Amino acid sequence: MTNSPNAITVHKLHPRLGAEIRGVDLAQSLSAEVFELIVRAFNEYSVLLFRNQAINDDQQVAFSQRFHELEKISFSLAAKNPYVYELSNIDEHGQILKSDAKKRTFLNVNARWHTDSSFKPIPAMASILSGREIPIHERADTDFASMRVGYDEIAVERRAALRGLMAVHHYAYSLQLTGDGNVPQAELDALPPSTHPILRIHPGSGQPSLFVSGHIESINGMPVEAGRHLAEELIRWCTRPEFVYSHEWITNDLVMWDNRCTLHRATVVPEREIRRAHRTTVMGEGPVEALL
C-alpha cells in the first residue's frame, strides 16, 4: 500500500459518530495531504477505525506525534516506551489476571463513561488504541458516544442554565469509586483535580460540545451531591443506547477517539483470553475553551 490520497475511503460506523478509514497503512509515513484527510475525518466523525494495522510501538508513536505532543505515561502500568501505555488483562508473568487481582479494579475505572485525562489541566486531544492481541471468543467492546451530539440534542432553554458551569475532574475520585487498584499515593498526588467548563468549543470544528466525564467530582457553586447528579445526568443523556457506537475489536484494529467531544467506556475485562492493547495519548492544544 502506498498511502495515496486517492485510495482512501471513509465509511460511517454509526449514524451519530465514527468512521472507518480504508486504504491507509499507518506503519508507513503519511504525506501531508493524507494526514490532512485523516485530521479532517477525525474532526468530523470523532472516532476513527483503521483495520489491519500491524504496527509496532515506534510506528504508533510516529503516527500519534503527527497530531501533537504526546502525554508521558503518568502511572506505573507503563510499557517499555514512555509514551506507550500497555492496557492488558495479564500480569508481569504474562498470566491472565485472577478475578480478585488488584489490577482488575484499576482496569474497572475504564468501565465508567469517561474522557481520557480530563483530570489534567490540559485534557487529552486524542487517544490512539492499537489492539495487539484481541480475544476471539470473549467479546470486550469499547463503547463511544458523542458529546457534540449530546449538546445539539439539549433544548435551547436548558443550555443557558449550563453556561458558565465549571466542573472539577479528579482521577483519585473515579479511582476510589471502582477500587484503589494499588495505585501508589505519590502517583495520585501527582494528579491533583482540574477544573473545566461543562460547555466547550471543540477546537477542531469550532462546534459547541458538552464536556463531562466520569472523573467529575463536583461542580463549582453546587452542593457536591447535586453536582455529581448533574454530571451523571448529562453523561446518561449523551450515552442513550441509540447514540452509542460499540466497537467490536479484531486484532490489529487501531481506533482513535477525540477526547474533546466523545465519551467512552470499556465493557468487560476478559476472564479467559488475553486482551492486550497499546495506547498513545495526544495532548490537548491548550486549556479548554468555554462556550460563552
When the beta carbons of 8 and 188 are compared against ligand OGA, the nearer one is 188
Cell 458551569 -> residue: 165
Residues that bind Mn ion (rule: CB under 5 A) add up to a total of 1
Measured between alpha carbons, how far is 291 from 207 in angstroms, rounded to an integer?
9
- Report the partner that residue 282 touches, choosing among ligand OGA, Mn ion, none (CB closer than 5 to 8 A by kind): none
Letter for the amino acid at 80?
K
- Report the partner that residue 215 touches, choosing among ligand OGA, Mn ion, none (CB closer than 5 to 8 A by kind): none
| Site residues, ligand OGA (CB under 6 A) | 87, 110, 116, 127, 129, 142, 264, 266, 279
* 115, 213 Cβ separation under 8 angstroms: yes
Pairing of β 216-219 and β 199-201: unpaired
When the beta carbons of 21 and 84 are compared against ligand OGA, the nearer one is 84
- Number of Cβ atoms within 10 Å of the Cβ of 73: 18
When the beta carbons of 110 and 239 are compared against ligand OGA, the nearer one is 110
CB of 279 to ligand OGA, least distance (A): 5
- Report the partner that residue 266 touches, choosing among ligand OGA, Mn ion, none (CB closer than 5 to 8 A by kind): ligand OGA
- Report the partner that residue 129 touches, choosing among ligand OGA, Mn ion, none (CB closer than 5 to 8 A by kind): ligand OGA
When the beta carbons of 33 and 248 are compared against ligand OGA, the nearer one is 248
Sign of CA dihedral 29, 35, 38, 43: positive
CB of 177 to ligand OGA, least distance (A): 15
Letter for the amino acid at 283?
M
When the beta carbons of 116 and 253 are compared against Mn ion, the nearer one is 116
CB of 116 to Mn ion, least distance (A): 4
C-alpha cell read off for 126: 486524542
Strand order in the sheet with 245-247: 245-247, 142-146, 262-266
* 79, 276 Cβ separation under 8 angstroms: no
258 makes contact with Mn ion (CB under 5 A): no
CB of 174 to Mn ion, least distance (A): 10
- 96 membership: H or E segment, kind and range: none
C-alpha cell read off for 88: 492488558
Residues 92-131 that bind Mn ion (CB under 5 A): 116
- Report the partner that residue 279 touches, choosing among ligand OGA, Mn ion, none (CB closer than 5 to 8 A by kind): ligand OGA
Spacing of C-alpha 53 from chain mean position: 19
Grouping H, G, I as helix, E, B as strand and the rest as coil, residue 5 is: helix
When the beta carbons of 127 and 146 are compared against ligand OGA, the nearer one is 127
Contacts of 87 (CB under 8 A, 6+ apart): 77, 107, 129, 276, 277, 278, 279
When the beta carbons of 169 and 219 are compared against ligand OGA, the nearer one is 169
CB of 128 to ligand OGA, least distance (A): 10
CB of 278 to ligand OGA, least distance (A): 10
CB of 110 to ligand OGA, least distance (A): 4
* 113, 264 Cβ separation under 8 angstroms: yes
Question: Which residues here bind Mn ion, judged by CB under 5 A?
Answer: 116
